[in-house]
Structure 1
Amino acid sequence: MKVILKAVSNLVLIAVLAGAAYLLLTRMGGNKEEEAAPAAERVVPVSVTPLETRAFEDRVAVQGNIRAKNFAMVSPVIGGTIGEIFVREGDAVKAGETVLFTVDSVNLRHALDVRRQDQAVAENARKQAEARVAQVRADFEKAEVDLRRYELLYEDNVVPVDVLEMQQSRYKQMKAALDMAATMVQLSREQEEQAGIAVEIAQKTLDDATTKSPIDGVVTVKLAEVGEMAQAGHPVVRVEDMTVLEASAYLPAEHFEKVRENETEVRVSAYGKDMGTAKVTYKSPSITPKLRAFEIRCELGRLPEGMSTGGIADLVVVFARRDGLAAPTGALVQRAGKSMLFTVDGDTARVHEVAVGLANGGWSEILPSDSLAQGTPVVTMGQTLVEDGAKVQAQDSSS
């Protein structure tokens, strides 16, 4: 009896296992059929946008500074203690009129007084020399008359020869004295002239103790205080001419050959405010070795209200412009290091290898190609899900 029950149990177990295996195989086979059918009929929905002709710019965007084109770092001509500073930052000044600051001038005034005294002494010496000439000339003329008279008396044998010789000697002495007096007058005049020059120099030095603005403009920076020691060549104030401004920036060295003075266009803005379009007015003649960059400058108009020099400027430097076939940059697919575009031929996707040029504002320039032209629809959504020859359902991206 036990043997029969064991045999029945084994048969039941075999039947259960067989049924489970059948169900498993049935389900596996059914899934393959269900998956195979959609694979053959799979259609990828995509959006397309037609290629169009657009204007492209070869350009670079950089940041720079706004500054006055004309400015002066004003330093004293002579060194000394700063006596007074007559301006504050923000004050408007006039060239040659507004006094900016002075240095201590006590010693300079004393030196000028001494030179004026020297000039007065030289003037008196010259007057004395001229008076001496007049006196000696009178004596000379008297000696000349006496000599002529004694010559006549000698001819009439009225006076002996030694008396005549005495008069001749006196005449020569008076002539020599007159020449000497004339020389002293010339010397005294030269000394007076030198004394006058010394006075002019002393006056100029004293005048240099007072520094006036060299340009019309506004005081933007004060670099020293009253009582500090000022030296020639060390600025005390900075004056800027706000009527002519410029933007300056440094461009990477790779763009050096593209920039042309008075030709290359620059669009300038600052803190969101458009400052217009200008031309490059200056290009540094060489590239800075440390920065591997070169400087450019362009003239601007007046600053917008509420802005000042020293602010940051956004510059867009345009090297060239051209029209070209354009595709949305997002439509480009990179595969195997190459740029691809997908077009739709009926309900089939076709891949095109393209050469890309400039890129502006979300559009990329597609260099001339035999297979692409203006109006050709290219896939702009879903392009990463398709391959060449895949079935697609295209929809215009504008709809």
Structure 2
Amino acid sequence: MTAAIATKGQVKGWCPGALRPMQSGDGLIARVRPRVGMLSLDQARALAGLAERLGNGHIDLTRRANLQIRGLLDEDLAKLQAELDRLGLIDADAEVEAIRNIMVAPLSAMGSTVRRIAADLERALMGDRRLVKLPTKFGLLVDEGGPASLANERADICLRVVEGQVAVGLDSRDGTYWLGACPPSTAIEIVVRALHTFLDSDPHRRLRDLPIEDQHKIHSALLPSLSALPPFEKTDGRALGMVQGAVGIAAPFGRLEAACLGRLTDLAADAGATELRLSPWRTLYVAVRDEAAGRSLLESAQALGLIIQADDPMLRIEACPGAPDCESSSVDTRGDARRLASLVAARGFAGSIHVSGCAKGCAKSAPSDLLLVGSAGRYSLTRGGETRGTVEARDLAAALAETSHG
């Protein structure tokens, strides 16, 4: 089906799509949602070429396991959308696109139960017009545990494949509440029932924001179809380097340049890969032919400036695009974040850091030990919820020194 072409992107303030892009300081941002959490190598090469040819060459990996092409012009949107349609990476309309928010365990293999469920979920979302009324940030995930588990990620509805069953969890104010399990064959019907029951509530909010009585209505609608939960453990999420027949490679602050993505795709092909798998940790996973191929790919990725080690200090720093990419920012957040990364080890700072170009905190995914918020070329400092003054952008060493006392 050919996608409906959206008009010029002028509105700000929501998660952008490819059919409904968002204006930023460096032009329009179009978000591409890969099917079942992966891109074929041909799709990845094509996206790199589109970012180079129609955008400014900047590609961002997002916390929802998508990617964004930046620096687009209004007059090039139709070209972009036509190419994404050819690649199978666009939806029939912007309403469906906005709700196709599914994170998939990145190490799950093609043809696995996880991938089949994710594909069926996508078809269910696209085929039921009532579901376009879901909040645009409403999310689902399909996990299977293991070294790159999504267990610690937050989604409105969580599915976990375990011991041949599918555990079903719903988001609550206290995190995921696991209701019970079902056979894979009934998982989609149960999710759709949960979505319709959610939409019966008023007003429509994120699932965790519903009144307790509305949450209980959803529980009651699902419980008759669920059996007891099989035991399973939570495991850590992001894993880098060699991991379970694949390699994990992170992009600093989630930013890939088009040329870097193109080169990485060629390297992945040399290592025997057929696709790139996305994750919510701004990390790509590549299934490789063998360990030797994986080691070679990791060395080449590191030479490209990508992150392959779990103890890299840049992994402890989150930073929004900042100036000049974002017109709300007066500071070069990612340049400053790189300088902070070179300082943290020398200064003995072991915590997490978030660098925001303004008070919105767009890149902030979790509480951080040190928060820097830009305004008028300076940063205000907050540590542990306590304000610690301000610092000039040119003197970031003072930020760490200031927070190392008390």
TM-score bin, normalised by smaller chain: under 0.3
TM-score normalised over the length of structure 1: 0.18
- The structure with the largest strand share of the pair is 1
User: TM-score w.r.t. structure 2 length?
Assistant: 0.17
Greater RCO between the two (CA within 8 Å, min separation 6)?
Answer: 1
